[in-house]
Amino acid sequence: MTEERFENLRPAPIGEMIVSATPNDVLIAYGLGSCVAICLYDPVVHVGGILHALLPTPTTESRVNGRPTKYVDRGIVLLLESLFKHSAKRFRLLVYLCGGAKMVTTMGFEDMLNIGERNVIAAHEVLEAHNLRIRAEATGGAAGRTVKLYIATGKVTVRTLRGGEEVLGS
């Protein structure tokens, strides 16, 4: 019996988060480009969550009523709150960070070149501010990624089209 045989894929759409304590659940963030996925997992109570954020932080021009989980800074706070409600403890959390690619490198598109990098920097800053150390990360580059978090084991995998699927942590 393998964990994959009974896996129940639960996607975290762009700009949203998902939390689970169900062993058969596999949380998945599909097709990360400049977006980042912050994966948090408590290995004692087997609860985990993924935030699929696409922007680092709201700007002054942003509408105030936008979904907070589309932002790295606000989304991490909400993800932590949700995990704590599921009995996760901060000191036990395993943290993984993926995504933040530079999908466009063409001259003339400079303003969109660094959203991925800014997402990664924001994630580092917010996680550090919450005393959370990143265990492993797959960030930057120019390729899309799909990330899975297995609730039963805490395994995290990252897939790219060229490199296939690799285990980031377990």
Partner 1 sequence: MSQEAIWKRLVVGEESEVLLRNTMRRVAHGLSEMINQPITANMPRIKQIPIAQVGTNAGAPDAEMVGIYLRIEAGLRGQAIIILPLTFALNLVDLVMANPRGSSLSLGMVERSALGEVGNLTLSYFLNAVSTLMEEVEMLQPSPPVVMVDMLGAILNIIAAPAAFMSDSLLVIETIFQDVARSVWIRLWVLPDPTIDWTSLLP
User: Is 54 among the residues that bind partner 1 (CB under 8 A)?
Assistant: yes
Closer residue to partner 1 in complex, CB, 144/169: 144
Local structure of 45: helix, strand or coil? coil
- By CB under 8 A, tell whether 131 contacts partner 1: no
Q: Is 35 a catalytic residue?
A: yes
32: contact with partner 1 by CB under 8 A? yes
By CB under 8 A, name the one of 112, 129, 130, 140 that touches partner 1: 112
Question: What x/- string results for residues 71 through 100 when contact with partner 1 is judged by CB under 8 A?
Answer: ------------------------------
Site residues (vs partner 1, CB under 8 A) = 13-16, 30-35, 54-55, 59, 61-63, 66-67, 70, 101, 103-104, 106, 108-109, 112, 115, 143-146, 159, 161
User: Could you give the residue numbers annotated as active site?
Assistant: 35
